[in-house]
Amino acid sequence: MLLRIIAVLACLLSLVLCAEDFYKLLGIKKDASEREIKKAYRTLSKKFHPDKNPGDQSAHDKFVLVAEAYDCLIDVEQRRIYDQYGHEGLEQHKRGGGRPQHHDPFDLFSRFFGGSGHFGHSGGERRGPNMEVRVAVPLRDFYNGRQTEFTVEKQAICSACEGTGSEDGQVDTCDVCGGRGMRITRQQLAPGLFQQVQSMCDACHGKGKKIQHPCPVCGGSRVVREPETHELNVEKGMPRGVRITYENEADESPDWVAGDLIVHLVEADPQLGTEEHEKTDGTFFRRRGKDLFWREVLSLREAWMGDWTRNITHLDGHIVQLSRKRGEVVQPNTVEIVQGEGMPLWHQELPEGVDEAFGVLHIEYVVILPDEMEKAMEKEFWSVWEKWRKKKGVNLLQDSGRPTPHDEL
């Protein structure tokens, strides 16, 4: 018998030692405020909700533990006992008749986000409107891919009153309309002739409920406007305007299940950043589909005589080299195509069996002519051109077949 008791005690002790620290579980400090505890629960409960992680038992277990941690730390008495005696003290407190915790984590979830505690999978539940936003990221992120964040302001269920609108949690049914939010009155149109008129109850303003002590945070409206940050995974080669859906992350209300947050990825205007990796020529590339475009400027000497080299720093920092040998002429507006230096193809657009592919880079050459020349330089150039024009030159005016100035006279 003694051995059995020792075994049971050892088992309980191992469970206590293995139990994860509630503060660590929620990712908060031990001096976290009530608001910080509620914010941590809101974030983690949505992240590990079984509806968002179908078939993942570890996520389900985490969802339950997060609810347990929140339910303990949000209660002043239980938090004090937990801080002083840990999990074992908390268990003894509950066995001794302390405040019972919520046994259904989905019920706790529904108090925060509305609905039945699930992400809108029940057909009879009212669903809120979707919310669409535009998020601008630089071309560099479309090329390299990036894990980043963005913040949107949205309507959220008030954490202070948990969506009740009441400071003390007491909400009474309106005694005027009986909770319907509407009143039916009779109006006499003529002797013996009456009309029934339905109108919004002015006692509860159509809510069907009365609150004696409104929540000081939301003013009794049950919802607040607050910023919320989301992770954004920009994949390599993603097209501009792609839509990324965050399920049930739109405006919240106790009266409905939140709709979806739909993010439209757009390309930000090019600008040099402060970090060294942001200061590349590729910052000013132009994109069209899977191809990139760049305009390179040449002097008259370079375009006419050749013998030049250019190093263009691409969006990921690698060098694309352009050059011409001496004597190779580049005509104005010539477009050179560099294979394999365009945008990477998005993984959803890659041909079957291909792991990676790139578009092309179009280089347009612009030739800049001098505004003026020194007199001595002008004489030298003129004599050289005249010498070779007489030997091998073509008179473009005569070759065109147009009338000469003399013919016009």
**Which domains are seen in the chain, by residue range?**
16-113 (1.10.287.110), 278-375 (2.60.260.20)
281 vs 399, more confident: 281
Annotate 99-122 with DSSP letters as a single string.
PPPPS-HHHHHHHHH-TTSSSS-S
pTM score above 0.85: no
Mean pLDDT of the chain: 84
The mean pLDDT of 257-261, rounded to a whole number, is 88
pLDDT in tens, 145-166: 999 999 999 998 887 887 888 8
Given a cut of 70, whether residue 220 has pLDDT beyond it is yes
pLDDT of residue 19: 63
What gap in Å lies between CA 334 and CA 330, rounded to an integer?
Answer: 7
Give 115's pLDDT tier (boundaries 50, 70, 90): low
**407 has a pLDDT exceeding 70:** no
385 or 263, which is more confident: 263
Reply yes or no on whether the pLDDT at 258 is more than 70.
yes
pLDDT at residue 243 above 70?
A: yes
Half-sphere exposure of 290 (CA within 13 A, CB side): 14
- 201-205, 210-214, 219-223, 317-321 — most confident range: 317-321
pLDDT, tens digit, 9 for 90 and up, residues 90-108:
888 777 655 555 557 887 7
Q: Residue 74 is encoded by which pair of tokens?
A: 């949000």
Range of weakest confidence among 163-177, 181-195, 297-311: 181-195
For residue 147, the model assigns a pLDDT of: 94
Alpha helix locations (H) across 19-56? 22-26, 34-47
3-state secondary structure of 219: coil
pLDDT at 401 over 80: no
